Chains A and B, each alone.
Chain A
């Protein structure tokens, strides 16, 4: 369907945009890439009165090196996460998972900020930011907040960003040395939303044991699920096939997925177990994570 009637604003500086949000509090919606917002509008699932197009805000298009983390502007597009050399080197988890978002044309337009604020629990970037314990910079005309990832995702399609606020920057810790990453998901068709997805980030000590493991599961709860019990099992242990089996079982027991049209609760639980085993075996076998698809190697 055609979009519902709207009024349009395209500010050229961030303070102006934040003022607009304050002035039209509640009736205004931020437009970043539009790849989730426009389908919702086309299907009349949302009908904002005013669209605030932030695509002219150059301050949201920067990737800055902050020493221990990267500060990624909310308007960085998924395809940039895949292709940007700094992101590939410093926060390769983002490049790895972004490859699984939608299709090429969607990735050329969709933004990291938009995906996070949209807060779909089966989406790849919310999962990655949760696993990485990223920090979200949320601004309004009156204040700037730093929101930790675990407080940012509230429920299905609900983030901590209020109607008068905007997510402007995402702080992502750089990947530690001796870290291996792996991601896998099951979807009905390539590019569809994942039924279940699993991301593992494992940092090893010099003696080969695990120093710190991070494990996040998508599509099994209303927000991305951090499998903390399973992480504790892994810390200080050796990543053996036996441990992988135990961790996968722990994950499947810890989650409480809800069945829907696309997959039953039992099937999601099964997928979480199988995918957890699969990504941890990739960590055992693999190098830094499978970046072989990456355009930089062509």
Chain B
């Protein structure tokens, strides 16, 4: 096979099958925003430091600015727009609302996708574990305390219900 500059991408995004031709160099973040119009995925630093662009690929948190759109062909992507369809996504969104866990909202999509993965995978994790998992997402408004409060309250109310 010869290397190609235009790649056909066939991917499941938030449950919808998307087929698009993309430039080989296009990042997943730009693909989601520019081709699919999913503007909830925010691009901050564009080199993997800030965490704002984090999405779920096959259920795992991934920096969409450090992934090629071409590479996700055949995989499943969930963005902030699709998080409401995941049990922990919905619970965490509600908790964020109740505990004022966002101000400007720029970092929120990346934080919610990361926390949704972590709470789904490790529902019995401690506050220290959640703080550690949160360490890859920068927020310049909240000081993190209300984010941690929201996550911990969602996790502990789930335990009380169970």
CA–CA, A51 to B7, complex, Å? 12
Q: Which of B48, B65, B70 has the most CB of A within 10 A?
A: B48
B25-39 contacts to A, CB under 8 A, are 25-27, 30
Q: Counting CB contacts under 8 A, is B42 at the interface?
A: no
Main secondary structure of the interface of B (DSSP, over half): mixed
**B67–A105 CB distance below 8 A:** no
Q: A51 to B136, Cβ gap below 8 A?
A: no
Stretch of A2-10, A88-96, A144-152, A167-175 at the chain-chain interface: A2-10
Q: How many Å lie between the Cα of A102 and that of B117 in the bound state?
A: 17
Closest A residue to B24 using CB positions? A8
Complex alpha-carbon distance, A2 and B7, angstroms:
17
Which residues of B have CB within 8 Å of A79?
Answer: 60
- Indicate which residue in A3, A8, A104 contacts B61 across the interface (CB closer than 8 Å): A104
Q: For chain A, residues 103 to 144, give those with C-beta under 8 angstroms from any C-beta of chain B.
A: 103-106, 108-109
B1 close to chain A: CB less than 8 A: yes
Bound form: Cα–Cα A190–B25 in Å:
31
Q: How far is it, in angstroms, between the C-alpha of A126 and the C-alpha of B73 when the chains are bound?
A: 31
| Residue count of chain A within 8 Å CB distance of chain B | 39
Q: Report chain A residues within 8 Å CB of B54.
A: 105
Q: Which of B61, B68, B122 contacts A51 (CB 8 A)?
A: B68
Q: Mark A43-61, 1 if CB is under 8 A from B, else 0.
A: 1000000110101000000
Nearest 7 CB-CB pairs, A to B? A103-B136, A7-B3, A8-B24, A39-B47, A105-B61, A3-B25, A38-B66
A-B contact pairs, 5 of them (CB 8 A): A20-B1, A28-B3, A53-B71, A103-B135, A298-B129
Chain B residues near A (Cβ < 8 Å): 1, 3-5, 7, 23-27, 30, 46-48, 51, 54, 60-63, 65-68, 70-71, 73, 114, 117-118, 121-122, 124-125, 129, 132-133, 135-137
> Which residues of A are at the interface with B, using a C-beta cutoff of 8 A?
1-11, 16, 20, 24, 28, 31, 34-35, 38-39, 42-43, 50-51, 53, 55, 79, 102-106, 108-109, 190-191, 293, 295, 298
